[in-house]
Amino acid sequence: MSKIKVGVLGAGTMGAGIAQVAAQSGHKVVLVDMNEKVIESAKEKLRKIIERLIEKGKWTEDFGNEVFGRIKFSTIMQDFTGSGLIIEAIVENIEVKHAVFEKLESIVDENCILASNTSSLSIAAIGAVLKNPSRVIGIHFFNPAPLMPLVEIIPAVQTSEIVTKEAKLIIDSWDKVTVLAKDTPGFIVNRVARPFYGEALRIYEEGIADFATIDWAMTTLGGFRMGPFTLMDYIGNDINYTVTESVFKAFYYDPRYKPSFTQKRHAEAGYLGRKSGRGYFDYSENAVQQSPNKDEELGKKILTRILVMLINEAADALFLNVATKEGIDLAMTKGVNYPKGLLIWADEFGIKNVLNELTNLFEEYGEDRYRPSPMLKRMVREGKNFF
């Protein structure tokens, strides 16, 4: 079976990573960025990545040269001619994306799939400006694209079934774990993961525990690879805050997704995390790191509160048919490295226990943020488990 030509628009970290994945899967790739400096930098970085893989013995020199040779680095969109799939990975701005997709439609033939790697914009809205919106789909990779196994495939209401099937087959052939998701704000991962950050920030704001203690509870007791504050510092507080704000807005200001003033203030102060040298933690050279309070009772309280909020979000995503139960659990383990799927975790914790915890929070705070999903109430009533 002959491999289609793949186009990637945007040569930032994400676009360059996607281009690498397509090239190492045997495709001829055109990586386009209008900015000459960005495209040159992407070329240099990829060369270094390949050299490192060869040094470590993960790739042979021949294979590394083949992969590099398959990628054409360009500043001209016209070079996309003849592509079977184009993945856009540019700025999260709907007007910019509209202009770009209209231009793409005028360059490629009618069988070319046009995909967006957006993490927060509606696929339906992106495709709305095209003469043929049925060819538009969301193909959402996670950073870094060559290492993270998960890819969310998001058909819009206009997307044809054939395009959905083809897109999924192509990405499956790249050794990725694909999950189909409904075109709703945040898709699966960015929606379900909101309480990991939001509830941790809330616990801090209430003075229950400091950043180090909350992170300790989630990693040592919960088995998460990174605590919420370390992870937000890693992602960047500016980026994480912007995503939270856009999800909140996209859900018509549902209180469950309300952003935090603590995070906003950190972003405003320029405490962006690792990249700025300071976030919730200090990354300067001789900084003294906070020590967590390793009180197990307190730790369990923190873990339980964040966990039931995550489970509630996962149950609600299932309730609203955002994805299948298998898809949701797969997305959270493969997309953000959760120690186990949240719905399997709910079964282990006891769905009745999850509901009780949420009901107590809801009664105490009287905030919609803590309202339990109807899915959990139904399952308790019917004595069912997710699996």
The residues carrying an active-site annotation are 119, 140, 152, 190
With CA atoms as reference, report the closest residue to 113 among 169, 75, 164: 164
Residue type, 104: L
**Strands 6-9, 29-32: pairing kind:** parallel
Residues 90, 100 contacting (CB under 8 angstroms): yes
List for the chain the helix, strand, coil content (%; round to 5).
55, 10, 35
DSSP string, 271-293: --BGGGTBSSSB-STTPPPPPP-
Cα–Cα distance measured from residue 259 to residue 3, given in angstroms and rounded to the nearest whole number: 44
Distance of CA 111 to the CA centre of its chain: 28
Residues 381, 356 contacting (CB under 8 angstroms): no
Instruction: Give 278's strand partners.
Output: 273, 282
Residues 204, 210 contacting (CB under 8 angstroms): yes
